[in-house]
Amino acid sequence: MTTETTTKDTAPGASVPGERVLDARGVTMRFGGLTAVRGVDLTVNSGEIVGLIGPNGAGKTTFFNCLTGLYVPTEGEVRYKGNVLPPKSFKVTAAGIARTFQNIRLFANMTVLENVLVGRHTRTKEGFWSAVLRGPGFHRAEAASRARAMELLEFVGLDSKAEHLARNLPYGEQRKLEIARALASEPGLLLLDEPTAGMNPQETRATEELVFAIRDMGIAVLVIEHDMRFIFNLCDRVAVLVQGEKLIEGDSATVQGDERVVAAYLGEPFEGAPGAAEAAEVAEAEATAAEADATASKADATAAGATTADAEAATADADADTTTDAAPGKENDR
């Protein structure tokens, strides 16, 4: 295991200020006929907190999965600190990208401390025999690792619960533990997938402070979140995904003030919206079909009208005939 110790001021994975940490270009992910992410470019620099927002199903988590090696993008390239990322999640973690998940993924029956120690395995340098023989090197490394894990638990405010089982933590603390575990891999970039989901306003506010503190340690952050207040308070830049495409990217004020973003969230069509060309084609085809239907119905109605008129004329003729025929009868009656 690594024996490096750190202060809480600078994380071991910290990057040079302003360094381009993440560079995703033209990332496309298709599932059969469905294009979940289409040609997305996104960069994150050291010292930045970048937000990724978009309506449900916009492709945000799929994009995260492409960044972390869970999915191999159908097209495009993802670089971390200039190097193309290997398409395996443990290698991506080892390279320096850590993440949390939308649905909490902790080891429920392990203690809080053990969960963080698991997060340190990518930084473990001790081999199999060292672990089996448990020599002095192993014990030193293990002690250093536990010390670092406790430091991270203190950082997120869970040090007093180190020996609790993860499953006994309240929901908000489980989310914090996930963050501590992600930090245990000493990342340079942390990806947070809906870190405040299910939290009350106080917990959300505390998470905001925590993310600022992580950024201040030199770790860049990319965060997906539906809580707009959280995002716009927190982020230096925000990118908006709509139907798998990046609609706009900018600072909070720019994104908040863009009426296309509001329209996308409300599900209203707007000019140039991702998928709008296809939607317009469908609408046009539907309109043409509806028009053709209407014309056909009119023709039917006209034909039906003619038939009725014919029938009426025939009835009138028949009546006339009956009258004519009856006349003799009347005569006969007389």
Ligand X SMILES: Nc1ncnc2c1ncn2[C@@H]1O[C@H](COP(=O)(O)OP(=O)(O)OP(=O)(O)O)[C@@H](O)[C@H]1O
Residue 83's DSSP bridge partners are: 80
Minimum Å gap between C-beta 135 and ligand X is 45
The answer to whether 58 contacts ligand X (rule: CB under 6 A) is: yes
The answer to whether 67 contacts ligand X (rule: CB under 6 A) is: no
Compute φ and ψ for 140, nearest 5 degrees: -60, -50
The answer to whether 14 contacts ligand X (rule: CB under 6 A) is: no
Half-sphere exposure of 334 (CA within 13 A, CB side): 5
Residue choice 61, 122, 196, 204 for contact with ligand X (CB under 6 A): 61
The answer to whether 278 contacts ligand X (rule: CB under 6 A) is: no
Residue with tokens 């599900």: 267
Residue placing its CB nearer to ligand X in the complex, 121 or 260: 260
Residue with tokens 């392990």: 110
Minimum Å gap between C-beta 62 and ligand X is 3
Minimum Å gap between C-beta 102 and ligand X is 6
The answer to whether 72 contacts ligand X (rule: CB under 6 A) is: no
Residue placing its CB nearer to ligand X in the complex, 118 or 197: 197
Minimum Å gap between C-beta 209 and ligand X is 24
- Which span sits near ligand X by CB under 6 A: 29-37, 156-164, 286-294, 298-306? 29-37
Q: How far apart are the first and last CA of the chain?
A: 128
Residues 36-55 that bind ligand X (CB under 6 A): 36, 54
Q: Are 166 and 107 in contact (CB under 8 A)?
A: yes
Residues 201-230 that bind ligand X (CB under 6 A): none
Residue 242's DSSP bridge partners are: 245
Residue placing its CB nearer to ligand X in the complex, 22 or 217: 22
Minimum Å gap between C-beta 90 and ligand X is 20
Locate all alpha helices (DSSP H) within the chain, ordered by sequence. 60-67, 89-95, 112-119, 128-133, 136-156, 171-183, 201-216, 228-234, 252-256, 259-266, 276-333
Residue placing its CB nearer to ligand X in the complex, 7 or 56: 56
Quote the DSSP letter at residue 111. Answer: B
Number of residues that bind ligand X (CB under 6 A): 11
Phi-psi region of 35 (alpha: psi -120 to 50; beta: other; left: phi over 0): beta
Residue placing its CB nearer to ligand X in the complex, 44 or 166: 44
- Which span sits near ligand X by CB under 6 A: 60-68, 89-97, 129-137, 313-321? 60-68
Quote the DSSP letter at residue 21. Answer: E
Compute φ and ψ for 308, nearest 5 degrees: -65, -45
Positions that interact with ligand X (CB under 6 A): 31, 34, 36, 54, 56-62
